[in-house]
Structure 1
């Protein structure tokens, strides 16, 4: 990814004051997407993919050597409304005792355990990602993450005020999390714990009428929950493997769930890349389960342009309903 430094300002009015820097870069994509079971038609559908993002990074350093900065992302996105943009970002400070980031950041459990490899041009609804309490419920400036490295170990601690909308429950729930990641040569490990004032449902299906159907409706703030997760990965002959497991216990035992999956990625010397994942979600005390399998490929054209495509197959069953959907996309991704 190219980064273009468009402004560097030296604060020279007082001797010894460090320079501040602002960098800007971006990414975009265009292509087509296919879905066999959509919310807007009873049949399959093809849709145009397009997105442009601009990213800004601001950094500085105090006289005493404390680094600080922030990241801001502006999206041209349909979710932002017609001819509008959506923004997200964070602010951070870093020194000898670690790094503290506040804003749109992952919780400690997700930082330590992570997700499976992404496939496709557009992510294909991101079935490779596990459902984490903070990530699913928090939005905007809701989270605080502390990171500290000791040798090959990375320590994480986080807190979120659970902000997820402007309704009556705004900032009425919190979650906190701890995690540890460890690198050992070609092996990586992660483990973490999260406690929330709500239960996030890891299993939801979008219906033909546009509504979101979950196993037990909108869980939201209805019950406290605890989650713990573990992951491990390795690299063999250029192929990277990862496996992860997450267990959630709720005050309502019908909402206890287990998520697990495996993934792999391979980058060839000729610019070809391959990725794949398998992920499954099960409720522990009711007969409900769902799974997703994804496969993706890419080819680096050089100069920041990449041809990308993928396919994801998902299916699930609960109550009297069976869900089966296939998603695919293909196109070009750019970095500037």
Structure 2
């Protein structure tokens, strides 16, 4: 990632000064996506994929060494008539303690390895994510690249390989029922990291069961050229999902695959029922082009639909 210095200012406090930097970074991708579900909607099953993202990061420090900063993101996808800006986040702290306010991940997403099994150029169905349980998907507080995502307040504590995060959604904008409160912890030892956490009111839709809580755990590590991740989530009154993913790197190529299994609490509680499939799976690859990456994959989700993609992505 190339760092570009846009501005430098002097902040005078007593006899001391602190420097502030603003940097640009970003990413882009383009390719083609196939989605079998679009046939039922009467639309083309293939589309051109295009995305451009620009991150604007400001960082600085006080004369006592306390660091601070913030981020705002600009993004444009295929079909957009203009780009959209995600709401900002602001942070302050040091290596042991940090507070982040605004558009940011909640405690669980910050600690648990939900995304290690992602396949393809675009992530396809995102079925490798253990908190995407059937039709109950993307329910946790996460960083949003578009619009106003509400104000999350997250505290992070790190000592050695041990870390704890606590968060709350102070506005409730993520949820229709109330504010998500969550806590998660992780421990790193060598090439392995274990993590677990709990979110109160993780479900962002009003249901007969009311607000629903979520438990998640993950174990992720490396064995020589093989990466392994095991994840599990349980959403109250909906169901649970276990995901096993792995990757293998050889030369400039990495192959990633996952298999996931969902258990509904009652028939249809996760939107699967007799018409769907409890098992989801996918496989994909990336190949380093030297400054860019060729990526592609295929996945099958709980609705028994297939997605596939192929394209190029890069970061700068």
Task: Check 1:58–1:40 CA distance in 2 against 1; reply closer, same or farther (3 A cut).
Answer: farther
Task: Check 1:285–1:98 CA distance in 2 against 1; reply closer, same or farther (3 A cut).
Answer: same
Task: Check 1:111–1:13 CA distance in 2 against 1; reply closer, same or farther (3 A cut).
Answer: closer
Distance 1:276 1:133 in 2: 24
Q: Does the 8 Å CA contact 2:255/2:286 hold for their aligned counterparts?
A: yes
4+ residue runs over 4 A deviation: 12-15, 136-139
Aligned to 1:278: 259
Q: What residue ranges of structure 2 are gaps of 5+ in the alignment?
A: 133-137
Aligned to 2:149: 140
Q: What residue ranges of structure 1 are gaps of 5+ in the alignment?
A: 201-217, 250-254, 317-322
Distance 2:7 2:157 in 1: 29
Aligned to 1:298: 286
| Alignment of structure 1 residues 161-200 onto 2, 5 Å | 161-164=171-174, 173-196=178-201, 199-200=203-204
Taking structure 2 as the reference length, the TM-score comes to 0.85
Q: Deviations over 1:265-307 (max 9, x none)?
A: 2333x2111111122322112253633211111111112x111
Distance 2:11 2:68 in 1: 18
Aligned to 2:45: 45
CA shift, 1:148, in A, is 0.7
Distance 1:10 1:141 in 2: 30
CA shift, 1:61, in A, is 0.7
Specify the SS of the correspondent of 1:163. coil
Q: Does the 8 Å CA contact 2:104/2:143 hold for their aligned counterparts?
A: no
1:113 equivalenced with 2:123 (yes/no):
no
Aligned residues: 297
Taking structure 1 as the reference length, the TM-score comes to 0.80
Task: Check 1:12–1:37 CA distance in 2 against 1; reply closer, same or farther (3 A cut).
Answer: closer
Q: Does the 8 Å CA contact 1:308/1:333 hold for their aligned counterparts?
A: yes
Task: Check 1:245–1:299 CA distance in 2 against 1; reply closer, same or farther (3 A cut).
Answer: same
Of 213, 222, 226, the match for 1:226 = 213
1:157 equivalenced with 2:157 (yes/no):
no
Q: Does the 8 Å CA contact 1:311/1:329 hold for their aligned counterparts?
A: yes
Greater strand fraction, Structure 1 or Structure 2: 1
Specify the SS of the correspondent of 2:110. helix
CA shift, 1:192, in A, is 0.8
CA shift, 1:112, in A, is 2.6
| Alignment of structure 1 residues 1-336 onto 2, 5 Å | 2-11=1-10, 15-38=15-38, 41-42=41-42, 45-78=45-78, 81-95=80-94, 98-115=97-114, 116-129=116-129, 130-131=131-132, 133-135=139-141, 140-160=149-169, 161-164=171-174, 173-196=178-201, 199-200=203-204, 219=206, 223-249=210-236, 255-268=237-250, 270-286=251-267, 288=273, 290-303=278-291, 305-314=292-301, 316=302, 323-336=303-316
Q: Does the 8 Å CA contact 1:262/1:278 hold for their aligned counterparts?
A: yes
CA shift, 1:262, in A, is 0.9
